[in-house]
């Protein structure tokens, strides 16, 4: 019996620098039932080399979307998982193994779209890329040689996801679908405006403070209802800030 | 903490037909802490293409052993696992998922050497190759597109093995190390001679009968003590066959 669909899981390759890896990644995805491939600023697409390595997965490759930024690639995603070569707890994100992340993806309520984001071959995801992610994923590997090829990393993650999907599990109970990255972005813009309106900054300045808030909310994996509640709170804080304090004249 | 060593697990590539796959397989092995690579009748070795794709794993590639037959590649192995694209119960072998097989390998008592055997790219292991295997391994995949690249199949199996090695487990309790493939082969030769000496055949002829016995013993994963006991039994049967029946004159 085929496992349940993984149509809600997107693979995002950020700045892939080898044409062949794009094709091999498409093939790896298809072997495990994945089909939604996005390429952020790839070296070239389409290319003969990618098509050759895609083998029978030229449909996945042909349907790949090309965009200029990570932000565009994940705008409609409610869960964004960034892959890293090793656990990176210093980024304040929860760091999961490939198996744990696959379990998390398999348990998502089905209307939530998710992205697994892979960085460029030599250097992986930048800190800026990681700011778009809510959860980090690492593939356990040989500590003295962790250098998985990009397509092989995609293969392992896609494989874990297929195995996880085959296991019976209880879907997460949520009042509403997870907020998409675009909805979160609007929340952050609102938050930034509110920080300015209310004059609330820390001694290291606004951007740093905003980033900390973003991390907290990203980690919380807010649903759409919660985002609305938070924005209601921000709006009321803004309104209060614009009024003179009560009793003043 | 690095997981316990996997020095006892060998990867055998049977008739690999793409030079690049040999290098990519070496790289996949090294990322997961494996180092013992054997090549049965490869298209070419060494080759510049394999070296390029091995990347930092040129040590694994350089140490690879080249032999002419599967038999040579597994002669000293006590557990031989053959990879197949899908579960193949018709071969009468136990068929395990990659995860189950990895658990089995991780639980082997450490002096037993084991081999995981991968077939040629287009067609996989032949029935003749499978006769050398005691257990089959399949990687769960998309039923409509199961075509994992050779190096990616190696990657998934090596990854599962690394994860399995990281988990606490109880080593199998055995009186003696598992019999090697070479010891089993001597048992089968002895068995065949005994079948002839004792005149025991079935109506479909000797080779078929012998193959059935081999499958039973392979599946049983005999240890060295058990092989010795069986050979003692065979020797006594041969001796009995050569003597005239008692009481006859």
What's the CA gap between B83 and B136, in Å, rounded?
A: 6
Better pLDDT: B201 or A199: A199
Same domain? For A52 and A105 the reply is yes
Instruction: Say which of A56, A145, A166 has its CB closest to residue B31.
Output: A145
For A178, which DSSP code?
B
Strands B9-14 and A135-138: unpaired
Do B85 and B140 share a structural domain? Answer: yes
pLDDT at A168: 72
Q: What is the CATH number of the domain that holds B120?
A: 3.40.1280.10
Does the pLDDT value for residue B96 go beyond 50? yes
- A109 and A227 share a domain? no
| A88 in any annotated domain | yes
A160 with A213, same domain: the answer is no
- Of B114, B141, B166, which residue is a domain's last? B166
Interface of A with B in 48-67 (CB under 8 A): 55-57
Chain-chain contact of A166 with B55 (C-beta, under 8 angstroms): no
B132 belongs to a structural domain: yes
Q: At what angle do helices A224-242 and A181-198 cross, to 10 degrees?
A: 20
Task: Give me B224's structure tokens.
Answer: 């060295």
User: Of the segments A97-101, A163-167, A169-173, A234-238, which one has the largest average pLDDT value?
Assistant: A97-101
Same domain for A127 and A200: no
Q: Is B249 a domain residue? A: no
- Kind and range of the H or E element at B118? strand B114-118
Residue A118 is inside which H or E element, if any?
strand A114-118
Higher pLDDT, B109 or A191: A191
Q: Shortest CA distance to A161 belongs to which of A94, A217, A69, A83?
A: A83
The residue that leads in pLDDT, B98 or B216, is B98
What CATH number does residue B203 fall under?
A: 1.10.8.590
Query: Scanning every residue of chain B, which has its alpha carbon at the shortest distance from the alpha carbon of A6?
Result: B142
Instruction: For residues B150-166, give the mean pLDDT.
Output: 95
Asked whether residue B198 is domain-assigned, the answer is: yes
Domain termination residue (choose one: B141, B166, B191): B166
Q: What is the pLDDT of residue B3?
A: 53
Flag whether A2 is in a domain. no
**Helix spans in chain A (H):** 19-31, 48-54, 58-62, 70-74, 98-106, 127-130, 150-166, 181-198, 206-220, 224-242
Q: DSSP secondary-structure letter at A90?
A: G
Q: Does A15 touch chain B (CB under 8 A)?
A: no
Choice among A63-77, A213-227, B34-48 with the minimum mean pLDDT: A213-227
- Omega before B46 cis (within 30°)? yes
Residue in B closest to A30 by C-alpha: B145
According to the model, what pLDDT value does residue B236 have? 85
Asked if residue B143 and residue B208 are part of one domain, the reply reads no
Q: Dihedral sign for Cα B238, B241, B243, B245, please.
A: positive
* pTM given for the model: 0.82
In a domain, B176, yes or no: no
pLDDT of residue B91: 53
Q: Cα angle vertex A17, ends A12, A19, to 5°?
A: 85
- Going by pLDDT thresholds of 50, 70 and 90, the confidence category of residue A1 is very low
DSSP run (H or E) holding A12: strand A9-14
Same domain as B108, residue B15? yes
User: Which secondary structure element, helix H or strand E, spans residue B137, and what is its range?
Assistant: strand B135-138
pLDDT at site B249: 45
- The span from the CA of A178 to the CA of B68, in Å, is 57
pLDDT surpasses 50 at B1? no
Is B148 in the same domain as B203? no
CB contact under 8 A, A142 and B99: no
Domain-located, residue B99: yes
Q: Please count the structural domains in chain A.
A: 2
Indicate if the pLDDT at residue B72 is higher than 60.
Answer: yes
Give all strands of the β-sheet with B65-67 in edge-to-edge order: B65-67, B36-40, B9-14, B114-118, B79-84, B135-138, B95-97
- DSSP per-residue codes, A216-242: HHHHHT-BHHHHHHHHHHHHHHHHHHH
Q: Are A142 and A32 members of one domain?
A: yes
Winning range, highest mean pLDDT, from A39-43, A173-177, B124-128? A39-43
Using an 8 Å CB-CB cutoff, list chain B residues near A162.
Answer: 140-142
Residue B134 and residue B235 share a domain: no
Residue A120 · residue A15 · CB < 8 Å: yes
Distances (CA, A) of B77 to A190, B30, B175, B214: 65, 21, 17, 16
List pLDDT tens digits, range A149-198: 999 999 999 999 999 998 876 666 677 888 999 999 999 999 889 888 88
For residue B193, give its domain range.
Answer: 181-242
Which chain B residue has its CA at the smallest distance from A57's CA?
B145
Partners of A31 on chain B (C-beta within 8 Å) are 141-142, 145-148, 152
- Same domain for A29 and A136? yes
A155–B contact, CB cutoff 8 A: yes
Last residue of a domain, one of A119, A134, A166: A166
What is the enclosing helix (H) or strand (E) of B37? Answer: strand B36-40
- Reported as a pLDDT band with limits 50, 70 and 90, residue B66 is very high
Residue A248 lies in a domain: no
User: Which residues have C-beta within 8 Å of that of residue A244, sequence separation ≥ 6?
Assistant: none
Residues A143 and A211 in one domain: no
pLDDT in tens, B179-229: 999 999 999 999 889 888 887 765 555 667 787 778 778 778 888 888 888
């Amino acid at each position: 019996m085929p496992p349940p669909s993984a149509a809600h899981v997107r693979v995002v390759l950020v700045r892939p620098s080898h044409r062949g890896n794009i094709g091999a990644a498409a093939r790896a995805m298809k072997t495990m039932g994945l089909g939604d491939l996005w390429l952020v600023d790839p070296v070239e697409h389409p290319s003969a080399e990618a098509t050759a390595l895609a083998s029978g997965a030229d449909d996945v490759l042909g349907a790949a979307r090309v965009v200029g930024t990570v932000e565009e690639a994940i705008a409609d995603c409610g869960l964004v998982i960034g892959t890293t070569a090793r656990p990176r707890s210093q980024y304040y994100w929860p760091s999961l193994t490939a198996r744990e992340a696959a379990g998390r993806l398999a348990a998502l309520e089905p209307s939530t779209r998710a992205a697994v984001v892979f960085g460029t071959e030599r250097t992986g995801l930048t800190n800026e890329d990681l700011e778009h992610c809510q959860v980090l994923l690492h593939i356990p590997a040989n500590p003295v040689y962790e250098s998985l090829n990009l397509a092989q990393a995609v293969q392992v993650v896609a494989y874990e996801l297929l195995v996880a999907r085959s296991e019976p599990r209880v879907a997460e109970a949520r009042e509403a679908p997870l907020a998409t990255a675009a909805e979160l972005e609007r929340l952050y813009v609102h938050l930034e405006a509110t920080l300015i309106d209310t004059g609330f900054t820390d001694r290291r300045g606004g951007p740093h403070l905003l980033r900390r808030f973003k991390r907290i909310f990203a980690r919380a994996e807010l649903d759409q209802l919660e985002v609305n509640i938070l924005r209601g709170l921000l709006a009321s804080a803004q309104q209060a800030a614009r009024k003179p304090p009560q009793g003043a004249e």
